[in-house]
Amino acid sequence: MEKTISSKCIFQGNILTLVKDEVLLENGKISNREVVFHPGAVTIIPVFGDKIIFVEQYRYPVRESLLELPAGKLEKNEAPELTAKRELFEETGFEAKTLKHLKTFYTTPGFSNEIMHLFLAFDLNKKNPRPDEDEIVKNVFVEIGKIEELLLTDKIKDAKTIIGLFWFLNFVNISR
Query: Which residues, including other chains, have CB under 8 Å from residue 42's CB and lie 6 or more apart?
Result: 71, 72, 74, 80, 83, 84, 87, 116, 117, 118, 119
Structural domains counted in the chain: 2
Residues 99 and 145 in one domain: yes
Q: What are the mean pLDDT values of the chain's consecutive 10-residue runs (176 residues total)?
A: 97 96 97 98 97 96 97 97 97 95 97 98 87 83 95 95 95 53
Per the annotation, the verdict on 22 as an active-site residue is no
Q: Could you list the residue range(s) of the whole structural domain that residue 11 is in?
A: 3-37
Q: Tell me, what's the pLDDT at 174?
A: 44
Q: The domain that contains 68 carries what CATH number? A: 3.90.79.10
Q: Tell me, what's the pLDDT at 97?
A: 96
Q: Tell me, what's the pLDDT at 134?
A: 79
Residues 54 and 102 in one domain: yes
Residues 89 and 169 in one domain: yes
Residues 160 and 100 in one domain: yes
Residues 58 and 72 in one domain: yes
Residues 23 and 56 in one domain: no
Catalytic residue among 26, 56, 64, 133: 133
Residues 74 and 160 in one domain: yes
